[in-house]
Amino acid sequence: MAASLTQALAAFEGFVSGKILVYILLGTGIYLTVRSRAVQLRLFPRAVRLVATSRRQRGSLSSFQAFVIGLGGRVGTGNVAGVALAVTLGGPGALFWMWLVGLLGMATSFAESTLAQVFKIRNADGIFRGGPAYYMQRGLGRRGMGIVFAAMLVFSYGLVFPMVQSNTIAATLADSHEVSTSVTAVVLMVVTAPILLAGMRVVARVCEWLVPVMAVAYLLVVLVVLVSSASRIPGVFSDIVAGAFNLRSGLAGTGGGLFATFLNGTKRGLFSNEAGQGSSPNGAATADVAHPVTQGLIQALGVFIDTLVICTATGLTILLASPKVYSPGVESAWAETTLVQRALADALPGGWVVWFMTFVVTTFAYSSVLGYSTFAEVNISYLGGGTRAGLVLRLAMTAATGVGAIVALEMAWVMADIALGLMTILNLVAVLWLSRWVFAVLGDYDRQRSQGVAEPAFVAEGNELLPGPLEGDIWTRERAVERVESLNEG
């Protein structure tokens, strides 16, 4: 009975994500890109500069801390196993469609993160709270919609997804180093508990160094592969473009045909960077910035790093491997497990590759758990939970990391996927409904920059560009003056 129910739920989830959700996400990204005049491209250099100067902290979390929390949640095992599966099923061309949806996803991430900033509130602990549930209530007046979203996010990101990540860590250690899953479970709880129980500020400080270290380490090793195979890179890019449009026979994946290439590339791109799913805005809202657009641009850059940098690095590593490791249209026995590890070992001989990929998978998965804790805690606050509820959540997440290492919970994973799909639909409805706020706030930012203001500050009071009044004391003129003075002091 349980197996049949799991299969039925999985079929339903596959239909929703593959036949409906992909196209809603693509359509939203296209609409927001057009209406914002491709904000993710025209302000890309500014986004890079903002990240480089975003470590200043005033009262809540710093802009950089909010950025790495979101990036930690985005960058996970999907950047390794997910990309490997995409190029196996869809061929080299899947990478092209992954790039396209990454660019569109940057606009979606910009919009949802900007809204999270606009409608955020200050919590009793001094850290801002915001995200889809908050802008559903404060922007749309739909408290019930916010409650449904928050409940599904807490279930998915607070309980099930940490289990999935810890299960990946346990499987990697067991397969590569014969470490018992029970030992992994205990170790994970020991290293997770002190950080989660210390609260959001400590999680932010750990992510502040862990996320950059793991990303840079992975990219440096891939860079060695690219340099050593530089003469073959033009041919790989030619295969990617030809495979994307079915211009050359033999480049289709095991899924077969142009549609399989398109679908696998878009699905892995969309679900890897999480743009539109409503998770990262919860982290984006915690930043104390002078203008909502500032954090919107920074979070959009997170999508770029996730999809167009890290996923591309994984994809190129696989495509540069010898035919004994990867060939388009040939089913790989290790597509979802060790394909990237084998591709790296093929280019860089030595036993150290196994240990390095263990580090990559473990840190990617662990950083995701830390990011998830912030997302879940923000929504526990929305549901009315105070300090005690936050403590219970952290204890539950610690237990989940241990349980996930030793137990296969297929039905829970499928149910979490369904919840994620419904969350995404709710979030996209809210983002599109409130998109006039996004364009108004962006217009305010562009106007100030055109007037020569180096660091625009947002004031909601008397702002004729806004579609309506904005309640609360976050974006008052007095607060804007304080932020500008803080920037000048910094």
Give the residue extent of every domain in the chain: 2-489
What confidence category does residue 353 fall into, taking pLDDT thresholds of 50, 70 and 90? confident
**pLDDT value for 205:** 87
C-alpha to C-alpha distance for 111 and 128, rounded to whole angstroms: 18
Contact 458, 480 (CB under 8 A): yes
Residue-averaged pLDDT of the chain: 84
Q: CA separation (Å) from 357 to 151, 175, 283, 314? A: 35, 12, 28, 12
Tokens of 310: 């890290």
Cα–Cα distance measured from residue 402 to residue 196, given in angstroms and rounded to the nearest whole number: 14
Give the tokens for residue 379: 């929504």
Average pLDDT over residues 438-457: 94
pLDDT at 320 over 70: yes
Residue 487: pLDDT band with limits 50, 70, 90? low
Task: Give CA separation, 218 vs 211, 215, 304, 398, in Å.
Answer: 11, 5, 16, 27
User: Which CATH class name applies to 2-489?
Assistant: mainly alpha
Task: Report the run of H or E that residue 133 belongs to, with start and end.
Answer: helix 132-138
The larger pLDDT score, comparing residue 323 to residue 130, is at 130
Among the residue ranges 59-68, 91-100, 465-474, the one predicted with the least confidence is 59-68
Q: Given the structure tokens 């400590």, which residue do they identify?
A: 202
pLDDT band at 57 (very low <50, low <70, confident <90, very high): low
Average pLDDT over residues 389-417: 80
pLDDT average, residue stretch 29-54: 92
Average pLDDT over residues 249-262: 63
Between residues 296 and 94, the one the model is more confident about: 296
Cα–Cα distances in angstroms (integers) from residue 108 to residues 72, 78, 295, 301, in the given order: 18, 20, 13, 11
Q: Pick the more confident residue, 153 or 16.
A: 153
Please give, one letter per residue, the 3-state secondary structure of 349-411. CCCHHHHHHHHHHHHHHHHHHHHHHHHHHHHHHHCCCCHHHHHHHHHHHHHHHHHHHHCCCHH
pLDDT score for 445: 96
Cα 214 → chain centroid: 15
**Does position 250 have pLDDT exceeding 70, yes or no?**
no
Is 2's pLDDT higher than 70? no
Alpha carbon 246 to chain centroid, angstroms: 30
Q: What is the pLDDT of residue 130?
A: 93
Q: What angle do CA 303, 26, 101 make, to 5 degrees?
A: 40
Contact at 8 Å (CB) between 381 and 390?
yes
Distance between CA 411 and CA 163 in Å, rounded?
12
Which DSSP string do the residues of 314-327 spell out, in sequence order?
A: HHHHHHTS-TTT--
Q: CA dist 120 to 151, 446, 468, 485, Å?
A: 18, 22, 16, 21
Look at 20 and 293; give whichever has higher pLDDT.
293
Check whether 274 has a pLDDT greater than 90.
Answer: no
The reported pLDDT for the residue numbered 430 is 96
pLDDT of residue 454: 85
Residue 246 has which token pair? Answer: 């079915």
Please state the rounded mean pLDDT for residues 245-263.
Answer: 66
SS (H, E, C) 141-183: CCHHHHHHHHHHHHHHHHHHHHHHHHHHHHHHHHHHHCCCHHH
| Range 479-490 burial, b when 16+ CB lie within 10 A, else e | bbeebeeebeee
How far is it, in rounded angstroms, from Cα 311 to Cα 133? 29
Contact 114, 320 (CB under 8 A): no
Average pLDDT over residues 448-474: 90
Q: Per residue in 256-281, is it b (16+ CB within 10 Å) or e — as a string?
A: eebebbbbbbbbbbbbbbbbbbbbbb
- Residue 246 one-letter amino acid: N
Percent pLDDT > 70 in the chain is 86
Distance CA 264, CA 241 (A): 15
The one-letter code for the residue type at 275 is A
432 pLDDT tier (thresholds 50, 70, 90): very high
At CA 193, angle to CA 190 and CA 196, rounded to 5? 150
3-state SS, residue 121:
strand
Averaged pLDDT, 261-289: 79
- Main-chain dihedrals φ then ψ at residue 389, nearest 5 degrees: -65, -40
For residue 232, give the DSSP letter. G
8 Å CB contact between 77 and 169: no
Strand 128-129 and strand 121-122: the pairing is antiparallel
Residue 268's pLDDT is 65
Helical pair 292-303 and 63-74, crossing angle rounded to 10 deg: 30
Residue 35 has pLDDT above 90, yes or no: yes
- Asked if the model's pLDDT at residue 337 lies above 60, the reply is no
CB 370 within 8 Å of CB 72? yes
**291, pLDDT greater than 60:** yes
* Residue with token string 């495979």: 243
Burial class (CB in 10 A: 0-12, 13-18, 19+), 234: exposed
Model confidence over 109-142: pLDDT tens digits? Answer: 999 999 999 999 988 878 899 999 999 999 999 9
Confidence grade of residue 412 (pLDDT, cut at 50, 70, 90): low
